[in-house]
Amino acid sequence: MRRNGLRVWALHLALLAVLASAQFWLSPYLATNLARIMVLAVFAMGYNLAFGYTGLLSLGHALLLAAGMYAAGLPALLWGWSAGPAFIAGLAGGGLVAAVLGLLALRTAGVSFMIVTLMFAQAGFLTLLYFAPVTRGNDGFAVAAASRSFLGFDLSTDTPRFLAAFAIFATGLLVSLALMRSPFGRTMIAMRENEERSRMLGYNPFTVKLAALTLSGLYAGAAGAAYALLFGYVGASFATIQYSILPMLYVLMGGAGTTLGPFLGALLMFALVEAATGLTTAHQFIIGAALVALVLFAPKGILGTVRERWAKWLP
Amino acid sequence: MAAVMAPLIETRGLTLHYGGLKAVDGVDFTLEAGEIHALIGPNGAGKTSFVSLLSGRRLPQSGRILLAGEDITRLPAQLRVRKGIAYTFQITSIFPRLSVFDNVALAVQAQGTRDLENRTRAALARVGLDGLEEQEAGTLSYGHQRLLELAMGLALKPRLLILDEPTQGLAASEIEGFKALVRSLVPETTVLLIEHNMEVVMDLASRITVLTFGRVLASGTPAAIRANPAVQEAYLGA
Ligand SMILES: Nc1ncnc2c1ncn2[C@@H]1O[C@H](COP(=O)(O)OP(=O)(O)OP(=O)(O)O)[C@@H](O)[C@H]1O
Ligand SMILES: [Mg+2]
């Protein structure tokens, strides 16, 4: 796992270099889309830590995304916090809610875990609606321009927004790579592969999974906060089941348990939806067909298949 | 009680039922530190069930387990591992999709991450699996998977190593190496060995306990066990 270090870091840094330069050769429209994709990819990378590496099949990650989004957005709305503190609050909100979710839901496993996380996310969504006077419910609210500034840069303008999205994405990617090359990453994978054996090596599955889920929540929180601050909107629709399924689709398409899979999946799904929307009104059908094809021909996702066939060294 | 005087493991009236079946039925058992103690008995006698209670994979319905005088009857398995009880599975339980290196590294890093690479390689070399580090564990031959299982147990640096039919699937040549390895472990590590191969048992064990129908039939030195008429009838003669 620690071997091939040079090759692995070079690959990741090369991808980051290409992405950083993209703002110079993409149209502003596409660059903004890429910023959105990078933010969604952060969410998917977090999902990947829980699902792809640790084997926790959650259907409740929308709750964690929304936790970050509201933990950043509400202080901005109510008290006029600026982007820096609001982002930290979102990060912490995602991590904290994930830890609480884990304490309750990790008493279960497998299908029960899916159902319990789904139910908590649904409860979170209903809570947002219930407190509509504060949260603005389904309508949501716009984040004020004053809160969308960071160190004097206006995050609602193209270049600062792109750079902020890139910085968060790069941090998330490098942290997850470092994690997967660390002993703790190996322990996470051990939970996915053989929990009973891990226990008999002295690991407490509950605490390992709780830590992994909390990490996952930090990513989701960061993504939710970034979405609110960079794109200026907070709404309860982000807490719906759709946003729990989305990162799973990204991860499955790009390759569960690969560091680059979440980004690749987010990019391709985004492109697919764009292309399909241009071609036909039945774009949901095209996405469905793509997923069926994927499950049939590359059940390990794109990078999972690449790793199996050609590049065993991919982390 | 003084821990120095207490045996490494002591069980009192240990009982495990699966529904109506008494797999372990009131077992009193003593394991002295530093010995190689063999646990034998016919198929289904309850050997695996008994050591599952020691390792914490299962909890007993009644009875007590003492580790050097300390009651560990209800202690979760992972904490017993940290107290020095390691179990190698009868039905090989490795991480089949991970590399051989990662399998053993998981055991090594549970003891601390310093010098992980070298300690992992050393544990592999000890069972003769060096050179296979990069291979996917699930693609190893059955015998090599047994050795990997053993390497994971050794890497835990246990006080008590419980080996559940470790020579099953090993070639005759590998069995010689295995015997030498187990001999080299004592007295620092105490070994509880479940084994059907009587040659291995008689070669290695300083004490033998015979289990039938979840009960202790006899316990003693190899010579005493061999001479015991009840044992001959129930097991050796069969
Ligand atoms: N999980 C289980 N559920 C129900 N019965 C079980 C279970 N595990 C074992 N048994 C039964 O308990 C009894 C003891 O089984 P155990 O595996 O402990 O025996 P053993 O001495 O290890 O046998 P072997 O030499 O074949 O490994 C057997 O009758 C077995 O069928
Ligand atoms: Mg058995």
Q: What is the pLDDT of residue B210?
A: 94
Q: What is the mean pLDDT of residues B160-172?
A: 91
* Pairing of the two strands B21-31 and B160-164: unpaired
Residue A189 within a domain: yes
Max mean pLDDT range (A108-117, A147-156, B222-231): A108-117
Whether the per-residue pLDDT at B238 is higher than 60: the answer is no
Q: What band does A218 get if pLDDT is binned at 50, 70 and 90?
A: very high
CB contact under 8 A, A194 and B87: no
Task: Give buried/exposed letters for A261-289 (b at 16+ CB in 10 A, else e).
Answer: bbbbbbbbbbebeeebeeeeeebeebeee
CA triple A28-A31-A37, angle to 5 deg: 145
In a domain, A76, yes or no: yes
Q: Where are the domains of chain B?
A: 9-84+158-236, 96-157
State how far the Cα of B166 lies from the Cα of B148, in Å rounded to an integer. Answer: 11
Closest-approach residue (CA) in chain A for B104: A201
Q: How many CB atoms lie within 10 A of CB A139?
A: 10
The tens digit of pLDDT for each residue in B31-50 reads 999 999 999 999 999 999 99
Q: Which of B57, B78, B101 sits opposite A204 (nearest CB)?
A: B78
Cβ contact A86:A24 at 8 Å: no
B135, closest residue in chain A (CA to CA): A312
Distance CA A202, CA A27 (A): 53
Q: Which one of A191, A201, A208 makes the best mutation probe of the B interface by having the most chain B beta carbons within 10 Å?
A: A201
Half-sphere exposure of A238 (CA within 13 A, CB side): 24
Looking up tokens 């891990």 gives A198
Single-letter code of the amino acid located at B51: V
Asked if the model's pLDDT at residue B236 lies above 60, the reply is no
Cβ atoms of residues A213 and A102 within 8 Å: yes
Distance between CA atoms of residues B192 and B190, nearest Å: 7
CB pairs under 8 A between A and B: 66
The whole-number pLDDT of residue A3 equals: 66
Residues A52, A55, A56, CA angle at the centre, nearest 5°? 105
CA B202 to chain centre: 17
Average pLDDT for A15-43 = 95
Smallest Cα distance from A1 to chain B, Å: 7
Band (B212; pLDDT cuts 50, 70, 90): very high
Instruction: Return all residues near B74 (Cβ < 8 A) that are at least 6 apart.
Output: B59
- A32 is a domain residue: yes
Whether the pLDDT of residue A1 is over 50: the answer is no
Would the CB of B44 count as within 6 Å of ligand 1? Answer: yes
pLDDT tens for each residue of A263-301: 999 999 898 888 877 776 666 777 777 778 887 888 899
Structure tokens at B229: 């008429």
Determine how β-strand B160-164 pairs with β-strand B85-88.
parallel
Share of chain A above pLDDT 70, in %: 97
Residue B184 one-letter amino acid:
S
With a cut of 50, say whether residue B2 has pLDDT above it: no
Query: pTM value?
Result: 0.92
Confidence band for B59, pLDDT divided at 50, 70 and 90 = very high
Q: What percent of chain B has pLDDT over 90?
A: 80
Mean of pLDDT values over A113-131: 95
Query: Does some domain include residue A140?
Result: yes
| Phi, psi angles (nearest 5°) of residue B130 | -65, 145
Residue A129 lies in a domain: yes
Nearest CA in chain B to A204: B78
Q: Is B57 helix (H, G, I), strand (E, B) or coil?
A: coil
Give the best residue of B109, B114, B145 to mutate against chain A (max A CB count within 10 A).
B109
Give me the helices (H) in chain A, please: 5-25, 28-48, 61-79, 83-105, 110-130, 132-135, 158-180, 183-193, 195-199, 205-231, 242-254, 261-279, 283-297, 301-309
- The shortest CB-CB distance from A183 to any of B89, B99, B109 is to B109
Residue A83 lies in a domain: yes
In a domain, A307, yes or no: no
Please list every residue in chain A whose beta carbon sits closer than 8 Å to the beta carbon of residue B102. 1, 186, 189
Confidence at residue A156, expressed as pLDDT on a 0 to 100 scale = 85
Q: Is A202 on the interface with B (CB under 8 A)?
A: yes
Q: How many domains does the structure of chain A reveal? A: 1
Q: Does A239 touch chain B (CB under 8 A)?
A: no
Looking at the domain B9-84+158-236, which fold is it?
Rossmann fold (3.40.50)
Ligand 1 center to B48 CA (angstroms): 7
Smallest Cβ–Cβ distance between A194 and the set B93, B110, B156 belongs to B93
Q: What is the DSSP string of B84-106?
A: TEEEE-SS----TTSBHHHHHHH
Residue B189: the pLDDT is 94
SS3 B28: strand
**Burial bucket for residue B100 (CB in 10 Å: 0-12, 13-18, 19+):** buried
How far, in Å, is the centroid of ligand 1 from the Cα of B44?
Answer: 5
Question: How many whole angstroms from B51 Cα to the centroid of ligand 2?
Answer: 9
Grade residue B1 by pLDDT with cuts at 50, 70 and 90.
very low
Q: How far apart are CA A216 and CA A44, in angstroms?
A: 9
Report pLDDT for B235. Answer: 66
Edge-to-edge strand ranges of the sheet holding B21-31: B21-31, B9-18, B62-67, B70-71
Task: Map tokens 């989004």 to a residue.
Answer: A69
Q: Provide, as residue numbers in chain B, all residues whose Cβ is less than 8 Å from the Cβ of A183.
A: 105, 109, 113, 116
- Name the closest residue on chain B to residue A207, using Cα atoms: B78
| A97 inside domain | yes
Instruction: Give Cβ neighbours of residue A107 (< 8 Å, ≥ 6 apart).
Output: none
Query: In the structure, what pLDDT confidence band is assigned to residue B183 with cuts at 50, 70 and 90?
Result: very high
Q: Does ligand 1 lie within 6 Å of residue B91's CB atom?
A: no
Instruction: Find the range with the poorest average confidence among A80-84, A126-130, A286-290, B25-29.
Output: A286-290
Structure tokens at A266: 């987010």
- Asked if A283 has any chain B CB less than 8 Å from its own CB, the reply is no
Give the angle subtended at the CA of B75 by the CAs of B72 and B80, to the nearest 5°: 80
